[in-house]
Chain A
Amino acid sequence: MKIYSEISSNKLKTWLIMVFFVVFITTIIYIFAKTLGYGLSLVGAALILSGIMSLGSYYFSDKMVLAISGAKEIKKEDNRQLYNTVENLCIASGQPIPKIYIISDSSPNAFATGRSPDKAVVCVTSGLLNMLAKTELEGVISHELSHIKNFDIRLMAVVAILVGFIALISDIFMRSLWFGGSRDNERNSAQGVLMVIGIIFAILSPIVAILIQLAVSRKREFLADASGVLLTRFPEGLTSALIKISKYPYPLKNANNATAHLFISNPFKNKESKNPFSSLFNTHPPIEERIKILRSM
């Protein structure tokens, strides 16, 4: 029962975030248009564009995420062991076999994406494959398959694109607040811009944080750990995989703020990146806590 309510809540949250995005962008543009005296046609354009983006993120977010991460698809012949592991665990959980992608990076990590179990992707780094033994790899894959089964992937991929976009815009505004603005000839207009930016920031930061927290609750990772173990019946596999992953010191090269929450373990390795928003995106429960829970199973 627990899982089924989790699935419907994930589907609902996905829609809420998409609607929220459209409303949010349109409101921002409306405020802009009002303050700077542009016509309302700008608002209409914003409504249409953000609507397209929202739907686009629903259908193409997985491809974008994969492209951002620099992942390449593999076939059965390319890596028989990985393919068999995924196939076997899919048989055990009764779900379709996802496509398998590999990121060539020595930092061990993995994520799953897609919009439904029959259009899903599991992605692992080559470092993960080199570092983990078979039972550990099974632990990681079963964790990812649980994310797929619970529809976490749809929500997380949409969040990655839409919230990532908002974070990107706010980042740009932040920079223009520091470096731009004063060059404007008309004082009124310049003050208006500053005011709007102020408003945007007042609204934006907590909202982005709440959205991410909403989408990527700690509960989600714990649930995926638990249902993954239900699949392999071997908690020690995932435990020692997590230990190995967390001990590896170097961050993943192609991870960024928008995609960080997809991974099984924080790809930045807790090194603060320069972006002020990175702490907001730090949504992974501490590995020690996950290990403690796994050990008690």
Chain B
Amino acid sequence: MNFYFFIGIVLVLLFLWYIYNSLIISKLRINEALSQIDVQLKRRADLIPNLVETVKGYAKHEKELFEKITAERSALMTARGPEEKASVNNQLTHTLKSLFAVAENYPDLKASQNFLELQGELSDTENKIAYSRQFYNSSVLDYNTKIQIFPNVFFARILNFKEAEFFGTDEKDKKKVEVKF
């Protein structure tokens, strides 16, 4: 009797060991995915001052827009947590779109090699943000599922594994920006 009891305890411990490790692995993967997004966000933030300078050279009167972009850029640099980062980033995407829409009014600017390069770089970065967000969100989904299914759910509660936040997209993103000619 004692012997079977002992075997039972060992099996339960092995099982807990397995669950714990798989939860930790998923959690670390989320952190890594988030740092991937951060890399891209930083690259974007680094490109913006250049862009603003270039546009300023041709379109001095769009002061409000420049200020808005600069403010949002610094908000992006100081944002903490996936949810806040996502919302600030979405705002910035929106504002940048207006900037590029405004640029349509300045033929010299549109023809500038520097501007075109920056535009290309920025859209590449935006793509990369989207892809790293996809990886992050699928990792989060994986992790959140793991801590909510039975019997992991008890174990996760006791050891204080909390649900991770998704990196959301903004509904505004999906609407087309109006371009005036």
Contacts and interface: CB of A to CB of B under 8 A. Distances in A.
A92 B167 CA distance: 14
A43 interface: no
Interface string B30-49: 00110010001000000000
A89 interface: yes
Contacts of B134: 92, 233
Interface string B18-31: 00000000000100
Nearest to A93: B135
B33 A94 contact: yes
Interface in B101-156: 124, 127-128, 131-132, 134-135, 139
Interface string A90-110: 011110000000000000000
B113 to A, nearest CB: 16
Contacts of B131: 88-89, 91-92
Contact of A94 (B40, B124, B135): B135
Residue among A87, A88, A91, A93 facing the most chain B CB atoms (10 A cut-off):
A91
A9 interface: no
A188 interface: no
Nearest to A231: B134
B58 to A, nearest CB: 26
A27 interface: no
Is the contact region of chain A dominated by helix, strand, or loop, or is it mixed? Answer: helix
A87 B40 CA distance: 12
B121 to A, nearest CB: 11
A91 B124 contact: no
Interface string A76-89: 00000000100111
A92 B127 CA distance: 10
B124 A84 contact: yes
B42 to A, nearest CB: 14
Contacts of B127: 84, 88
A79 to B, nearest CB: 14
Contacts of B139: 94
A92 B132 contact: yes
Nearest to B33: A94
Contacts of A93: 135
Given A94-B135, A94-B139, A88 B128 contact: yes
Contacts of A88: 127-128, 131
Nearest to A87: B128
Contacts of B36: 91, 94
Contacts of A233: 134
B164 to A, nearest CB: 15
A91 B128 contact: yes
A233 B127 CA distance: 14
A99 to B, nearest CB: 19
A2 B91 CA distance: 39
A217 B24 CA distance: 34
A116 B135 CA distance: 20
Nearest to A89: B131
B119 to A, nearest CB: 14
A231 to B, nearest CB: 8
A88 B129 CA distance: 9
Interface of B: 29, 32-33, 36, 40, 124, 127-128, 131-132, 134-135, 139
Interface of A: 84, 87-89, 91-94, 233
25 contacts: A84-B124, A84-B127, A87-B128, A88-B127, A88-B128, A88-B131, A89-B131, A91-B36, A91-B40, A91-B128, A91-B131, A91-B132, A91-B135, A92-B131, A92-B132, A92-B134, A92-B135, A93-B135, A94-B29, A94-B32, A94-B33, A94-B36, A94-B135, A94-B139, A233-B134
Given A84-B124, A91-B36, 17 more contacts: A84-B127, A87-B128, A88-B128, A88-B131, A89-B131, A91-B128, A91-B131, A91-B132, A91-B135, A92-B131, A92-B134, A92-B135, A94-B32, A94-B33, A94-B36, A94-B135, A94-B139
